[in-house]
Structure 1
Amino acid sequence: MAVVVSHDRRDLLARTLDGLAAQDRPCDAVVVVDNASSDGSADLADAHPLAPEVVRLPRNTGGAGGFAAGTARAVRSHRADLVWLMDDDTVPTPSALAELLRARSRYAGRPALLASRAVWHDGRDHPMNTPRRRFGLARPFTGRAAAVGGVPIRSASFVSTLVDARAVREEGLPEAAYFIWNDDFEFTARLLRRRTGLFVPTSVVEHLTRTFGSTDADPGERFFYEVRNKLWMLRTSRALGPLDLALYGAATLRRWGRTVLRSADRPLLLRAGRRGFVAGLTSRPEPTTTALAGLGAVSDDVRAIQEAVHRD
């Protein structure tokens, strides 16, 4: 089933739902998690012919909280075997889901997740959503992926990722405390530390961001979340092994350097980064059950999944 996280992008959400309704292989069900939108997004979803379940959150939990809530809803309440995650600015082409399922069914194994190719509205590959390839695999493993038109990956974004519910039950939900940024990196890298993930280029979605570029393109105040969450991940997550920590730590420093150099307002960016650095080193993300407490049935779904993981 599909899970769409939405916040104040009514027109884009309509296009996402239209894309889901036009799938060659229809979704078994759709959940829209509305993050306390003020523009009628939830009402639009309620009235859409696709008839999704609309989960109306009373407060904005960010993309991280929305995906944690939606995944919990899908896995526990709907007992979904596969969860197709996407933002409300993602428009899947008609064959997007069918291509993911085709690669999954033909792969000689059980991938924990499969990711689509994300393009901008002009057809260019979107740099914000390039999955990180998994290197160092023996030829038989890369050959299995190539046989189904796939590429082994180490992580992916939440712009069209098909996740096996069994991996969620074993590893838990996205870290809701991240709010925005790096939550998809942490979650997918955690699932794929000892599991298989595939990038499927024949599965195509449009990612309709306002501008073309990656998240290091002058984020302003939001740089706080990039720095805090990346440090949280490097310090506290079980997603990365020792070699990963060294590689991604070095890549992070290079990325932050590029971000500062490209910024049109470096003092603002540096202040946000400094706050993020302090928060990332002196605190830890609160548990997802705590971050998503007080949300009624959604909180029950979240708690049930997280407690089962901890018991195991």
Structure 2
Amino acid sequence: MRVTAVLVAYNRRELLRESLEALAAQSRPVDRLVVVDNASDDDSAAVAAELLEHWGERGRLIQLTENTGGAGGFATGIAAAVAEECIDWVWVMDDDTVPGTDALAGALDAHAKYRETGQDDLAVMGSRVVWTDGEDHPMNTPKAKIRAGATERERAAAAGGMEIRSISFVSAFLRADRVRDLGLPIADYFLWNDDFEYSARLLRGARGIYVPGSVVTHKTAKRGSSDQDPGPRFFFEVRNKLWVFRESPALSGWEKLLYSAATARRWFRTFRASSDRAQLRDCLRRGWRDGWRTKPRPTRQVLRDTGVPVDVMVAVDRLSKLEER
């Protein structure tokens, strides 16, 4: 198995340094590394360039001229990764994710155990994500897949994991061939729900597991769940979730109903915990309007003229056509 790590950076130079040093220290070395700098205005690009020097041809820095959000950054980096036909897995993370020494080794060990139990239909793996206190991070702790069959649960358990239906981009392993078949994350999401939509799309008709033996630290400012007060970002939560339910093939009909109910409960908790409900109401109004009246633009259109290198843009164009089918 050959693995390319894709790290998206934006204005967190010190955390970026820590993350890149952790990637370089993996007990099972990463085969390739792509760092996408989302037009940072600190020294993130310089930090990445410095630490990529020892990677030689195995490392690549892509400096975008516009901030395309996490969604655009991951679409760019994943396109660059899978353009190399020899790559089997793409390991994605943000610049505030610090992998443990055995994070990659743990994931690949789980994959090997999974293959021993039957067909190699594994499309996605997710690491155990902890906060700085070593406890599970509630923002990135997945739930078991609803209505998973007995065989699916048994195979996941035999690999030391748990069957999943979606995963966050905080240390997710994406099967490169599956990406080549189904396309890229939708860059127009900008942030929030891009990882939910994309991982659910890759996992529809395929298998995914949560791997506790692969551990990373998500160094957010606070240890909180996704329903805590998001401030102005709540606009993206509302608009993008409606885009998922209306436009994406990631979920079946019954799943859309189930996730819609869960979303309503989460929004209620968000409002209840907020100290600025007027701002959230404005985000809800605008997000609801745009979520119903618009749909995501093609990823190739969003990333055009944002500094994506020509060879990567060729891959984006090809993979974006799959997303548009």
TM-score interval for Structure 1 and Structure 2 normalised by the shorter chain: over 0.9
List per-residue Cα deviations over 1:194-240 (Å, max 9, x = no partner).
10000001110000001110222111111000000000001000000
Question: Any idea what the Cα deviations from partners look like across 1:281-306, whole Å, max 9, x if unmatched?
Answer: 11000011111112342322200222
Q: Secondary structure at the match of 1:133?
A: coil
Which residues in structure 2 correspond to 1:37-186 (within 5 Å)?
37-48=40-51, 50-51=54-55, 52-77=59-84, 79-107=86-114, 108=118, 109-186=120-197
Q: CA deviation at 1:170?
A: 1.2
Q: Deviations over 1:123-182 (max 9, x none)?
A: 110011112321222222211111110100000000001110111011110010000000
Structure 1 residues 183 and 50: alpha-carbon distance in aligned structure 2, compared to 1, 3 A threshold = farther
**Residue 112 of structure 1 aligns to a residue in which SS?**
strand
Give the secondary structure class of the aligned counterpart of 1:24.
coil
How many residues end up aligned between the 2 structures? 311
Contact 2:62 2:309 (8 Å CA) reproduced: no
- Which stretches of structure 1, 4 residues or longer, exceed 6 Å deviation after superposition? none
Counterpart pick for 2:23 among 7, 17, 20: 20
1:6 aligns to 2:20 (yes or no): no
- Alignment-mate amino acid for residue 278 of structure 2: P
State the secondary structure of the residue aligned to 1:132. coil
Structure 1: runs of 5 or more not aligned: none
Query: Among the aligned pairs, what percent are the same residue?
Result: 50
Give the unaligned 5+ runs of structure 2.
Answer: none
1:81 Cα deviation after fit: 1.6
RMSD value over aligned CA atoms? Answer: 1.3
The alignment partner of 2:6 has SS state of strand
In structure 1, the partner of 2:286 is: 275
Checking the alignment, whether the CA contact within 8 Å between 1:133 and 1:155 is kept in structure 2 is no
Letter in 2 for 1:120: W
Which position in structure 1 is the counterpart of 2:36?
Answer: 33
Point out the more displaced range, 151-160 or 137-146.
137-146
Task: Using the TM superposition, give the Cα deviation of residue 310 of structure 1 relative to its aligned residue in structure 2, in angstroms.
Answer: 5.9
Task: Please give the alpha-carbon distance, in whole angstroms, between the structure 2 residues aligned to 1:299 and 1:14.
Answer: 27
Distance 2:182 2:122 in 1: 15
The answer to which of 50-59 and 62-71 deviates more is 50-59
State the secondary structure of the residue aligned to 1:194: coil
2-structure distance, mates of 1:161, 1:50: 25
Q: Would you say the 8 A contact 1:104–1:110 is kept in 2?
A: no
Distance 1:133 1:124 in 2: 19
Q: What is the CA–CA distance in structure 2 between the aligned matches of 1:249 and 1:145, rounded to whole Å?
A: 27
In the alignment, is the contact (CA less than 8 A) between 2:129 and 2:218 conserved in 1? Answer: yes
* Distance (Å, rounded) in 1 between the aligned partners of 2:162 and 2:66: 38
Distance in 1 (CA, whole Å) between partners of 2:19 and 2:262 is 33
